[in-house]
């Protein structure tokens, strides 16, 4: 799966070819939530692309504030719009899904950030890689600390599996959100059959 940032999303280009009512639709981001074994998860879509996923805050107001800081588009609650990705996430938590069919919009990220996020997206279910591997894969072998910062600010965790990136010692490190986040990372790896004892 490859995630590519676009200067102008294809669905937005299509809007300009059609009626004005479609422009309004394309300028709207849909979001919803799901109850997961890790707590409430919020997810946002811009058309067919996932643009945000948050499971560390568990706070709708905070999620919307962070989302609003990243986009000028209007945001609307729509469980129907996010139902397909919610279904895939629930299947993942039950161990029935190893890959997601949704792509992610990484526009707004630098080339380096996009390369790091794409490298993380290539890590197979149930496997781990180091931050050094991530930097090498992103064609910046000495930038493993910078790659770690990209992972700490991953806009779509789980779908871009930053939890599969571990320290060179084989332990958990570099996960945003403090101790609770390390616990979340460990639980996600356990869902995938990875035990870091």
Q: Give the pLDDT confidence score for residue 162 in this predicted structure.
A: 93
Q: Give the pLDDT confidence score for residue 147 in this predicted structure.
A: 95
What would the pLDDT profile of 91-139 be if each residue is shown by its tens digit?
999 999 999 999 999 988 999 999 999 999 999 999 999 999 999 999 9
Residue 84 and residue 30 in contact, taking contact as beta carbons nearer than 8 Å: no
The CA distance from 117 to 53, in Å, is 14
What would be the CATH architecture of the domain defined by 10-104?
2-Layer Sandwich (3.30)
For CATH 1.10.10.10, list the domain ranges present in the chain: 126-191
For CATH 3.30.160.70, list the domain ranges present in the chain: 10-104
- Structure token pair of residue 127: 């496997």
Give the pairing of strands 28-36 and 74-77. Answer: parallel
Return the H-helix or E-strand segment holding 42.
Answer: strand 39-46
- What's the fold here for domain 126-191? Arc Repressor Mutant, subunit A (1.10.10)
Which sequence positions are flagged as catalytic?
162
Give the HSE-up count for residue 157: Cα atoms under 13 Å, Cβ half-sphere.
Answer: 24
Q: Give the pLDDT confidence score for residue 55 in this predicted structure.
A: 78
Instruction: Tell me the average pLDDT across 168-187.
Output: 71
What would the pLDDT profile of 65-100 be if each residue is shown by its tens digit?
988 888 888 999 999 999 999 999 999 999 999 999
Mean pLDDT, all residues of the chain: 82
């Amino acid at each position: 799966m490859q995630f590519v940032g676009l200067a102008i999303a294809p669905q937005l280009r299509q809007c300009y070819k059609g009626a004005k009512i479609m422009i309004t639709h394309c300028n709207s981001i849909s979001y919803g939530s799901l109850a997961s074994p890790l707590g409430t998860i919020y997810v946002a879509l811009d058309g067919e692309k996932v643009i945000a996923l948050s499971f560390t805050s568990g706070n709708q107001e905070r999620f919307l504030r962070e989302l609003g800081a990243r986009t000028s588009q209007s945001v609307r609650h729509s469980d129907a719009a996010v139902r397909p990705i919610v279904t895939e996430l629930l299947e993942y938590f039950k161990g029935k899904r190893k890959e997601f069919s949704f792509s992610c919009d990484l526009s707004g990220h630098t080339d380096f950030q996009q390369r790091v996020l794409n490298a993380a997206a290539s890590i197979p279910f149930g496997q781990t890689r180091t931050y050094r591997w991530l930097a090498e894969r992103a064609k910046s072998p000495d930038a493993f600390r910078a790659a770690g910062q990209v992972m700490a600010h991953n806009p779509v965790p789980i779908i871009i599996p930053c939890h599969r990136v571990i320290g060179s010692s084989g332990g958990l490190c570099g996960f945003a959100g403090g101790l609770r986040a390390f616990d979340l990372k460990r639980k996600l790896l356990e869902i995938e059959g990875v035990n870091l004892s």
